[in-house]
Amino acid sequence: MDSQPAGTDPSGGPHLDLRAYLLGSWTVTRTLLDRATGNRGTFAGVVRFTETSDGGLHFHEEGTVAWTPEGGAPFTGPATRDYLLRPSAAPDTMDMFFPDGRPFHRIGFGGHSRDSHWCDPDLYRVDYTRTGPDEFRYSWDVSGPAKDLLLESVLHREFAANPLIVVSAVCVFDSAGRLLTVRKRGTDKFMHPGGKPEAGETAAQAAARELEEEVGIVVAPEHLLPFGSWLADAANEAATQIEATVFTAPGSWDARPSAEIAEIRWLDLDRPWPDELAPLLTDHVLPLLAAGGPDGRGPDGQDPSGPDARGLRTPTPGT
């Protein structure tokens, strides 16, 4: 690490308590540029900084990336990464590490703060800027014989003004490529089959259980394909958000309403969307399906959980 010392808080006040500032949840949007090829991409998701027992923070990022690798097919799908932040000598900086303990770089805000990381054979240079009490930005300039990338991120603090419900959901398709939507009893919105995880369940286990209970479709959790994670307004609970992990069920299916499901509809993705759809569908899933194909794969049928999906994480720094 060769960071420059952080200066004063951009507001002109005393040095920032960086750990206290970062703690909590942030939305993140990122633009990706491969300067060697001109390829561009995007990432949108959530970053959570949670406390660790050593006085540091755990960084967890998850969301959806859209990218076209050189010589590869366009891809849109889920991406995640994790880091560890530990206290440094000053409260306005912290040292970031990979999950396996390797040092990465130093993060800080001094109006402007820089650091770098050597990842043979490329050099990663980062600039941090705190633009306000609830927003900061950083950019990675990656150069060398293997990569020539510019990654620019903007983070906004999330405020827990509304309750948050964690759910799992599944995209299911019939032989005509139509998407299954369901309406629960006493509601008027159509949504994915799915629901809240029970104690000890993973997101995939909850998705598989809800799929069987609600529409009689049996898929093993390990056979569900990750599709994306989003925050969205709840369809049937006022002033409430959902944090949804969405999967696709490979293959084509028949479905029957059971349990709390009052009605099912198969949605033709090539026709105008009806008005009575849940925000998760209209704001996130349907636009992504329109871009990536009706089964959650790329236009060439590529599986987003395959090698190219892992390769899509290479535009993020620190390989």
Would you say 230 and 244 are in contact if contact means Cβ atoms under 8 Å apart? yes
Task: Please measure the distance between the N-terminal and C-terminal CA atoms of the chain and give it in whole angstroms.
Answer: 16
Kindly indicate whether the domain formed by 164-292 is annotated with CATH number 3.50.50.60.
no
What is the Cα–Cα distance from 174 to 255, expressed in whole angstroms? 9
Amino acid at 245: T
- The span from the CA of 284 to the CA of 181, in Å, is 15
Pair of tokens at residue 196: 């809240």
Please give the C-alpha separations between residue 237 and each of 25, 102, 113, 166, in angstroms, as whole numbers: 22, 44, 42, 13
Instruction: Per residue of the chain (319 residues), give pLDDT as tens.
Output: 333 333 333 333 346 789 989 988 999 999 999 999 999 999 999 999 988 878 899 999 999 999 988 778 888 988 889 999 999 988 889 999 999 999 999 999 865 578 999 888 999 999 999 998 899 999 999 999 989 999 999 999 987 556 788 899 999 999 999 999 999 998 999 999 999 999 889 999 999 999 999 999 999 999 999 988 888 889 988 778 888 999 999 999 999 999 899 999 999 999 999 999 999 999 889 988 887 643 443 323 333 333 222 222 333 444 4
Fold of 18-159: Lipocalin (2.40.128)
Domains 18-159 and 164-292 share a fold: no
Domain ranges of the chain: 18-159, 164-292
